Amino acid sequence: MRLAENKRLGKKRRKPYRKSGRKNPEIDESVITAESIVDGRAARVIAHHGVAVLVRFESGEEKQVWLQPEQKAVVGDRVQVAGGRLGVEPAHGILRRRDPRGRERTIATNLDYLGVVVAPVPREPPGYIDRGFVIARAAGIEPFLVLNKIDLDEDNVLGDRLAEIYGPSAPLLRVSAQSGENVDLVKALLANDSAEEATTPYEGKLGAFVGPSGVGKSSLLNVLVPDLALRVGELNRGSGKGRHTTTTATLHSLAGGGTLVDTAGFKDFIAVDLDPLDAATHFPGFEGAGEAGCRFRDCLHRTEPDCAILAAVECGDVDERRHRSYVQLIEELETSDGRS
């Protein structure tokens, strides 16, 4: 629902707000919703501090806004700010993780891109990239692949192999966070803005990195966001030798447009629940073959009759090894409730 539609209603219902974050019996909590806050200034949540969030307006101005009791807002959320209150707009592109108790938590919303980062060392576990792609696409987020540490990729062996497998599915950016080589490609991807989207107050795309520990996600973030180290200090987050101990993500604008989520504190995004059907629909490499359509809408491309993917494997359009990787992922999802 467009926030503006409830303009009159919202004005009438606006109540004084409290900073304590505790329940106030005089406030009817039920009316404090996104719809009750109108003609506010559009902003985006760039950091979460428990009872308050830091938002950034179009002008670049930042402001801390207290959350109402029970109100939820996440980094990446588009909000309206009026009278010290926050209205959260419906989000897309939601990135989740699993907390230590096994519950799913939202890390960030409104993501356009998810960069799956890998490196010659350490190599990612088998199926890691595929899982990352499927998670992203199932959430409506466009994946891209980053091969970091190209200085260690002798004769471009790994880069060429990845290009062969994933080139037709998504952009592959071969970079070195250490030398800075090609990191401009990441910037260019995130700065990309269509004319239509340029009318929104948020320039460029919102992206995040995911990848196994040690592939260079923090290094990449530091190259792309030069003031990050400073900001880490400002936000009082523990940082020793580039290791973050933060428990919430933060958003960082890139100089040429685009925004990156600092997710360095999270390691297990890839462990969220996934439905085997998500994998069947979004597995990288099946795009073209899948367009032909299988007989069954919930086809898992294993032994089903009139399966477009199996037919493509048969005639060589889909590599048999890719299909085997796919079946392995499906089996993992079926035996582990989707958790890795």
In the complex, which residues of this chain contact Zn ion (CB under 5 A)?
Answer: 294, 299, 301, 307, 309
**Cβ closer to Zn ion: 269 or 326?**
326
**Cβ closer to Zn ion: 111 or 299?**
299
- Alpha carbons 144 and 113: distance in angstroms, whole number: 7
Token couple for 216:
């260079």
Instruction: Choose the contact partner of 176 out of Zn ion, ligand GDP, none; CB within 5 to 8 A by kind.
Output: ligand GDP
Instruction: Choose the contact partner of 151 out of ligand GDP, Zn ion, none; CB within 5 to 8 A by kind.
Output: ligand GDP
Residues making contact with ligand GDP (CB under 6 A) = 148-149, 151-152, 176-178, 211, 213-219, 242, 264
**Cβ closer to Zn ion: 107 or 299?**
299
**Cβ closer to ligand GDP: 213 or 335?**
213
Instruction: Choose the contact partner of 218 out of Zn ion, ligand GDP, none; CB within 5 to 8 A by kind.
Output: ligand GDP
Smallest distance from Zn ion to CB 318, Å: 11
Nearest to 145 by CA among 271, 158, 87, 278: 158
Distances in whole angstroms, Cα of residue 250 to Cα of each of 42, 262, 264, 265:
18, 5, 10, 10
Smallest distance from ligand GDP to CB 285, Å: 25
How many Cβ atoms sit within 10 Å of the Cβ of residue 100? 6
Strand locations in 21-75, DSSP E?
Answer: 41-48, 52-57, 62-66
**Cβ closer to ligand GDP: 221 or 330?**
221
CA count, 13 A, side-chain hemisphere, 76: 28
CB 214 within 8 A of CB 226: no
Smallest distance from ligand GDP to CB 186, Å: 12
Smallest distance from Zn ion to CB 336, Å: 22
Smallest distance from ligand GDP to CB 148, Å: 5
Nearest to 249 by CA among 240, 241, 261: 261
